Structure 1
Amino acid sequence: TAEPYRGVRVSLLDDAALVALQQLRCALETEALRIVRDRGIRPPDVDAALDALAAAEASGDWPATLDAHARVHRALVDAADSPRIAEEYRRLDSEMHLLLTHVRPAYSTGALTTEHRAYVEAALADPEHAVREHLEHSTRMIFDGRRGL
């Protein structure tokens, strides 16, 4: 993670750090999606982001898939039009990128897109439950992968 006037540090995501990251993501993304739901809008960039995720996944390019995945989540958060939430969420980008390197083996081609299409619809309807469920699922996948399950 690079921060102005603070330098660069390498993120290490042990189990406790992973849980803490997911808790912060959950708080930020849930609140952003609650705002979006209460405004009755569909995030304007989310469908294009989902299509980009599908294309990246189909190409087999994991770095592009990671970028496209981040784009889906940012489209949801940015739609709240809350600069502070968006700023804090973006601070997590490098850690989230690192986190997703751990789930690659768990996803067959197209599965990440399918999961995120369903997630977007559920999160727009019921962010309080959908975001938590989505992040708990990815956390379990990472823990299982670390334990060789």
Structure 2
Amino acid sequence: MDDIDRAIIRHLRQDGRMPNAALAAAVGLSPSACLRRLRLLERDGTIRGYTVVVDDPPPRDLVVVIVQITLERQTDDHLRRFEEAVRKCPEVRECYLMTGIADYLLRVEARDAADYERIHKEALSRMPGVARIQSAFAIRAVIRGG
């Protein structure tokens, strides 16, 4: 991957629907050369696909809770079982495997504190291998997006 490939990726991250002619002009290539490089980036898996990011802010009556989860063990089996369980919890909107003190960082949406208590009790604390849960309620979003 060279500087032109990185420029193609940078521009597509900003606008995934950018027409090839505009992309080519932005990176200093002819349209055919740009398209050839784009197809190579797709073929080798550098570009795995295209997606649409929808601005779907939670309704005002939802609260966002940032949750740190620490597992009893960090074996492949424990990680896999936890990840399978967390995918089944619709209130968990995002989940990241982390380095540092906590093993996972989750973004959970709940109607209110009582609803989060239910999610905590009935879902999060029952997930396989969970040793510790630390929760923080978000005050407001400063930057949000994809």
- Given the two structures, how large is their TM-score scaled by the length of structure 2? 0.22
Q: Looking at secondary structure, tell me which structure has more strand per residue.
A: 2
Q: Looking at secondary structure, tell me which structure has more helix per residue.
A: 1
Q: Which has the larger radius of gyration?
A: 2
Q: Which has the higher contact order (CA 8 A, sep 6+)?
A: 1
